[in-house]
Chain A
Amino acid sequence: MSGKTNDRIRALNVPQRVKVELDAEGLPKTAGEITVEAVLETWRIDDEWWRQPISRRCFDGVLEGGRHVVLFEDLTTGEWWIQKP
């Protein structure tokens, strides 16, 4: 009797890479090809310094058409990402 069942937990709301243009104040102006109509809030996350350090500059934004998203810059790589709030 031998059997092995492998299971996996899949993360939900995994961030997606996105190209972001910034305005003169350093706030996101476009995400991909879509205009960022409003930036509602900004904050910073620094976490898990003991493991794989996470350092993000986050923007709570509303895209053209009304979609509510979080845009963040990974401060360790300089890459931009988008995900649901």
Chain B
Amino acid sequence: MARKSYLTSDSAACCWIPQFALRSETARRPELVSHPVALIAPDDTRRVWQLSSLARRAGVKPGMTVSQAIGVCPALKLCEPDPVHYDGEFSRLLAALSPVSPVIEPAELGRGFVGTDGLEGIYGTPEKIVEEIKCGVRNAECGIEAALRIGWGKGKFVSWVAASRAKPGQAIIVRPGEEGKFLASQPISVLPLDLDTHRRLRQLGLKTLGALAALPEEAVASQFGATGRRLWLLAAGRVSEPVVGRVAPEPIVAALAFFSPVAGRELLEMALDRLIERALKDPRRIGWRVQAVRACAGLEQGASWLAAVTLKEPTADRDRIAAPLKTQLERSPPAGAVERLVVEFTAFVPGTEELQLFARDATSAARAARRHALQGAAREIKLRVKRSFLYHIIEVQPWSRLPERRYALIDYEP
């Protein structure tokens, strides 16, 4: 179970499919292609997110409220987001690239980097490497490969800028030594800028990376601080961030199916706790702390909800893992009632055992002893009757007018 990042590559191919989520949606629902389509934002169901070209042409803009968008374009087809599907499609696409190169780094939904160091010996020229990448993407059969843009160059930034300038289905190759010339003519909007910095650069009359790189590095750093220095280095082609391949973690998954769709946040939070507990108890987790976790929910009518979190401090503590997921649940709740909830631990770091060895005080020691006794009794029951018949009774919808909805049984493993 190696989880270290150790594969790197200086030369990179950036694969980019803009509007990945919308394209995934229209690929599985081809009847949408001839209509103006808007995907609703997964984190704010009152607003539209990604738009088809027909919707844009009709005047709809990303971030508009749903009512504004329909006001502008009454024929607009609104789609509930299905982030789990989009994530799955993107993972499939990345997996299809792994035969081309062992160094794959996802950047965001629809954008990833392929490390190309050493591939010349296998495939030949950069053009042939690009063809292999295209072939790998076609093998994923996502139905959206025609929109793939590829940029090839030294480091992630150069390859990303090249991909952003490429036309759909095409590639731009920046050969070694040509980075400075290529970058100089690019607009400053390709830099990873916040809106304020972008505005200030425009006010200074800086429109291209070449104009920014022509300024003294120290002058930019004194105006914009450490961020400015980094921007200058990127614009001048002085930094080259390698692609870092990560050994794909094999996740621990715990799932829960509700007997009737659940919309109440309290029950969902409780279910999250329960699933995290379950996943933590997986024997393969022992000795490792959880670094990345995600919660996926299957909703009524086929939509989905997804919350993914990377923990600042990896932990094996249920509440610490659950807290950021619950925050996301509160900030951007599922758009419908939940039929199935899944928790996945997707990345780990080696754990420390000393924290688990001793109870901190007498109360927790007594609690640990009771739990130990309970575990022994539960094991004995399981041995005798071949399965555990221990359950918790939990409140589901105690206010419901339907008696069978008020309480439920859930498996109990002390």
Are the C-beta atoms of A11 and B252 separated by less than 8 Å?
Answer: no
Counting chain B CB atoms within 10 Å of each CB, which of A12, A45, A47, A51 scores highest?
A12
Which listed segment binds A: B9-17, B226-234, B401-409? B401-409
In the bound assembly, the distance between CA atoms of A10 and B410 in angstroms comes to: 6
Q: Give the nearest-CB partner of B344 in chain A.
A: A4
Q: Does A5 lie at the interface of the complex (its beta carbon under 8 Å from any beta carbon of B)?
A: yes
Are the C-beta atoms of B259 and A11 separated by less than 8 Å?
Answer: yes
Q: Say how far A60's CB is from chain B's closest CB, in angstroms.
A: 11
Interface string of A1-38 (1 = CB under 8 A from B): 11111111111111100000000000000000000000
Interface string of A42-79 (1 = CB under 8 A from B): 00010100010010000000000000001000000000
The 10 closest A-B pairs by CB, nearest first: A5-B254, A1-B250, A10-B409, A2-B250, A12-B407, A4-B253, A1-B284, A9-B408, A7-B256, A11-B259
Q: Give the nearest-CB partner of A5 in chain B.
A: B254
Q: Please give, as numbers and ranges, the residues of chain B lying within 8 Å of A83 by CB-CB distance.
A: 403-404
Are the C-beta atoms of A9 and B253 separated by less than 8 Å?
Answer: no
Q: Does B1 lie at the interface of the complex (its beta carbon under 8 Å from any beta carbon of A)?
A: yes
Are the C-beta atoms of B402 and A9 separated by less than 8 Å?
Answer: no
Are the C-beta atoms of A9 and B250 separated by less than 8 Å?
Answer: no
Q: Give the nearest-CB partner of B267 in chain A.
A: A9
Interface string of B330-352 (1 = CB under 8 A from A): 00000001000000000010000
New A-B contacts (17) at CB < 8 Å, excluding given A9-B259, A12-B406, A51-B337: A1-B249, A2-B251, A2-B252, A3-B253, A3-B284, A5-B252, A5-B254, A6-B255, A7-B410, A9-B257, A11-B260, A11-B396, A11-B404, A11-B408, A12-B407, A45-B402, A47-B401
Interface size class of B (residues with CB under 8 A): 35 or more
Contact among B258, B348, B403 with A84 in the assembled complex (CB-CB below 8 Å): B403
In the bound assembly, the distance between CA atoms of A13 and B261 in angstroms comes to: 17
Q: Please give, as numbers and ranges, the residues of chain B lying within 8 Å of A47 by CB-CB distance.
A: 401-402
Are the C-beta atoms of B254 and A7 separated by less than 8 Å?
Answer: yes
Q: Does B218 lie at the interface of the complex (its beta carbon under 8 Å from any beta carbon of A)?
A: no
Q: Say how far B230's CB is from chain A's closest CB, in angstroms.
A: 36
Q: Give the nearest-CB partner of A46 in chain B.
A: B401
- Which residues of B242-292 are within 8 A (CB) of A? 249-261, 271, 274-275, 278-279, 282, 284-285
Are the C-beta atoms of B278 and A7 separated by less than 8 Å?
Answer: yes
Q: Please give, as numbers and ranges, the residues of chain B lying within 8 Å of A15 by CB-CB distance.
A: 403-404
Q: Please give, as numbers and ranges, the residues of chain A lying within 8 Å of B120 by CB-CB distance.
A: none
Q: Does B300 lie at the interface of the complex (its beta carbon under 8 Å from any beta carbon of A)?
A: yes
Interface residues, chain A, with chain B CB atoms under 8 Å away: 1-15, 45, 47, 51, 54, 70, 83-85
Q: Does B393 lie at the interface of the complex (its beta carbon under 8 Å from any beta carbon of A)?
A: yes
Are the C-beta atoms of A45 and B401 separated by less than 8 Å?
Answer: yes
Q: Does B411 lie at the interface of the complex (its beta carbon under 8 Å from any beta carbon of A)?
A: yes
Contact among B1, B258, B406 with A9 in the assembled complex (CB-CB below 8 Å): B258
Q: Say how far A54's CB is from chain B's closest CB, in angstroms.
A: 7
Counting chain A CB atoms within 10 Å of each CB, which of B275, B284, B300, B403 scores highest?
B403
In the bound assembly, the distance between CA atoms of A45 and B402 in angstroms comes to: 8
Q: Give the nearest-CB partner of A15 in chain B.
A: B404
Are the C-beta atoms of B404 and A10 separated by less than 8 Å?
Answer: no
A-B contact pairs, 30 of them (CB 8 A): A1-B1, A1-B252, A3-B253, A4-B254, A5-B255, A5-B278, A5-B279, A6-B256, A7-B255, A7-B256, A7-B257, A7-B278, A8-B259, A9-B259, A9-B410, A10-B408, A10-B409, A10-B410, A11-B259, A11-B408, A12-B406, A12-B407, A13-B404, A13-B406, A13-B407, A45-B401, A45-B402, A47-B401, A51-B261, A83-B403
In the bound assembly, the distance between CA atoms of A11 and B406 in angstroms comes to: 8
In the bound assembly, the distance between CA atoms of A83 and B404 in angstroms comes to: 8
Are the C-beta atoms of A7 and B406 separated by less than 8 Å?
Answer: no
Q: Please give, as numbers and ranges, the residues of chain B lying within 8 Å of A8 by CB-CB distance.
A: 256-257, 259, 411
Contact among B260, B282, B300, B391 with A3 in the assembled complex (CB-CB below 8 Å): B282
Contact among B285, B300, B401, B411 with A51 in the assembled complex (CB-CB below 8 Å): B300
Are the C-beta atoms of A4 and B401 separated by less than 8 Å?
Answer: no
Contact among A12, A45, A70 with B409 in the assembled complex (CB-CB below 8 Å): A12
Q: Please give, as numbers and ranges, the residues of chain B lying within 8 Å of A51 by CB-CB distance.
A: 261, 300, 337
Q: Say how far A10's CB is from chain B's closest CB, in angstroms.
A: 4
In the bound assembly, the distance between CA atoms of A7 and B253 in angstroms comes to: 11
Q: Give the nearest-CB partner of B283 in chain A.
A: A3
Are the C-beta atoms of B411 and A7 separated by less than 8 Å?
Answer: yes
Q: Please give, as numbers and ranges, the residues of chain A lying within 8 Å of B285 by CB-CB distance.
A: 1
